[in-house]
Amino acid sequence: MGLSTGNGRASAANPAHDALQQSAREHLLLHFSKQGAAYGADRELLVLERGEGPYVFDTRGRRYVDALSSLFCAQLGYSYGEEMSAAIAAQLGTLAFNTNWGTAHPAAIELAEQLAARAPGDLDHVFFTNGGSESVESAWKIAREHFLALGQPQRTKAIARTTAYHGVTLGALALTGVPAYKQPFGAAPIDVTHVANTNAFRAPDGDDPAGFCARLLREVREAVAAAGPEEVAVIVAEPVQNAGGCLTPPPGYWRGLREIADEHGILLVADSVICGFGRLGNWLGIEHEGVVPDLVTTAKGITSAYAPMGAVFVREPVAEVLFRPAANLRHGITFGGHPLSAAVALKNIEIFERDGVLANVEAQTPHLAARMEELRALPLVGDVRGAGFFWAVELVRDAANGTFDQAERDDLLRGFLPGRLLEAGIIARADDRGDSVVQIAPPLISDAGVLDEIVDALGEVLADAGTHMGATAATGV
């Protein structure tokens, strides 16, 4: 995400810091980054070396509130290292590794059982991966094998949503609705129709939730009809869509998706890679919709990022087909369900329940929501939206909610904001895969004081950004 400070700050002598900057430039390729810009002479790469509670510290010793939970992962923050390492050490003392390729190990079996027990409805089966893209890719392949075993090989198509990010492996990328990420890599291996997401702010009927919902669902129905209802395998959506800025669904939307899927024998997939594991105050990020999807993809918070892991939850009737004599699951990942990650995920569940993590999100959400709403008073803020510990502000050009042009977005989102946020001691995300937004997703252990610290810092930065953009417009600089 290119969290270089971008401010060209003069640096006090710090040889260890300088050596890391130099070595990174020489050897470390950054993900989703323009390497030249991220390592530009006017830039300093943000190198984090230590964490404590919801805070992280860089190699200069500067402290930041990790208001993004290290890309929506660090649900528990950073102070559970000893407990996690004890869990890892115990696992290392018995069995460092075995796969789930036709064999298994106790940690994966126990974890699958514990996860199924917490999932809504009959999401009783779990397929382990190493992360979100692999989970989405696996969900697609499980769906395909399900339909092949059912004698429906023609179901090769998918419905997903515009601006949604579902990952980078080529199958997951096909489902992703961000054209700029797909364009370099050629024709998509899955025939996907992208329908409108649930961005009410820019929708003509967005202030009429019932009408908005009906129109969105009509579009899904039309897309299914156009693709051929017998040819569609999956409908994929996030409970609250991240890209575009925490796009919450109107009431009835998920029930509507469930109905459409049921009507046509299509599998409904909730991509809960971000929304799962407490981000919305519950386990899979979908419970509050009162709908049980056929498959749920997860990653990130499943271990609170103390180890890499992902998982796909599969409903009993979908998995049952895979147990039939003719069925085969021709998909596997060497490290999927790694015992060390499974041990961490089990400890993560234990800590969530012992320390009341879901209850904390539920208890603090009204406070966070109210504090975020205060930001509407800023001229730069056009909309505030989100749920649980997952919020966005949409930044607007003027009182008529005008959007910024490319040069303004480059200046605001990639020039001004990254450095200014860090200066204010906060890690948040400025993004314009859809319209211009700044997002926060605090660690789920954050109390009201930490949430206040985050919103106060965000307000201060956005006020400055408003002045900056006003000055830019006035002077044409």
Q: Which residues bind ligand PLP (CB under 6 A)?
A: 131-133, 136, 165-167, 238, 242, 271, 273-274, 299
Closer residue to ligand PLP in complex, CB, 100/242: 242
Closer residue to ligand PLP in complex, CB, 145/238: 238
| Token pair of 191 as six digits | 């025939």
Least Å distance, CB 386 to ligand PLP, is 15
The Cα 391–Cα 11 span in angstroms is 33
With helix as H, strand as E and coil as C, how does 36-80 read?
Answer: HHHCCCCCCCCCEEEEECCEEEECCCCEEECCCHHHHCCCCCCCC
The Cα 2–Cα 324 span in angstroms is 47
Find the radius of gyration of the CA atoms of the chain: 22
Least Å distance, CB 333 to ligand PLP, is 12
Closer residue to ligand PLP in complex, CB, 190/457: 190
| Token pair of 374 as six digits | 């205060």
Least Å distance, CB 173 to ligand PLP, is 10
SS3 195: strand
Q: What is the DSSP string of 318-378?
A: HHHHHTSTT-------TTTT-HHHHHHHHHHHHHHHHTTHHHHHHHHHHHHHHHHHHGGGS
Least Å distance, CB 132 to ligand PLP, is 2
Shortest-Cβ-distance residue relative to ligand PLP: 132
Strand ordering across the sheet containing 437-440: 381-387, 390-395, 437-440, 429-431
Candidates 32, 36, 38, 13; CA nearest to 419 is: 38
Closer residue to ligand PLP in complex, CB, 71/329: 71
Closer residue to ligand PLP in complex, CB, 193/242: 242
Residue 172 backbone dihedrals phi, psi, to 5 degrees: -65, -35
Q: 253-264 and 209-227 helices cross at what angle (nearest 10)?
A: 20
Closer residue to ligand PLP in complex, CB, 232/274: 274
Residue 431's DSSP bridge partners are 437
Least Å distance, CB 244 to ligand PLP, is 11
Instruction: For CA atoms 406, 408, 410, 414, give the dihedral sign.
Output: negative
Closer residue to ligand PLP in complex, CB, 178/375: 178
Least Å distance, CB 238 to ligand PLP, is 5
Least Å distance, CB 220 to ligand PLP, is 18
Give the helix/strand (H/E) hosting 71: helix 69-72
Least Å distance, CB 164 to ligand PLP, is 7
Closer residue to ligand PLP in complex, CB, 432/453: 432
**25: which residues sit within 8 A by CB, 6+ positions away?**
39, 45
Closer residue to ligand PLP in complex, CB, 130/446: 130
Least Å distance, CB 170 to ligand PLP, is 13
| Token pair of 241 as six digits | 């869509």
| Token pair of 58 as six digits | 């860089």
